[in-house]
Amino acid sequence: MVENGITSDDLEKKILELLSKELLSVSQIAKKLGMRRDVAAGYLEALKNQGKLEFHRVGRSNIYTIPRRPKR
């Protein structure tokens, strides 16, 4: 799948790169990547289901982080 001219693999790399540097909400990730929040949320959920991200609820924000030991 391609979103804004970016392939899924490229998007995954960009998301993981962003989250390796700082904690971000779904909305912040969407804004940094120039995409709709619902599209970003779908990618984040898919990465969580693959074991590449963990989900945390902080107040009203949904925060995704990279697990300390990624599942393979």
For 22-53, give one letter per residue: b (16+ CB within 10 A) or e: eebbbebbbeebebeeeebbebbeebeeeebb
In a domain, 15, yes or no: yes
pLDDT band for 4, please (50, 70, 90 cuts): low
Q: Which domain holds residue 13?
A: 2-65
For residue 1, the model assigns a pLDDT of 53
In a domain, 70, yes or no: no
Interval 23-45: pLDDT, tens:
999 999 999 999 999 999 999 99
Q: How many domains does the chain have?
A: 1
pLDDT band for 68, please (50, 70, 90 cuts): confident
pLDDT band for 59, please (50, 70, 90 cuts): very high
In a domain, 72, yes or no: no
In a domain, 71, yes or no: no
The token pair at 51 is 């074991």
pTM of the model: 0.80
CATH (domain of 44): 1.10.10.10
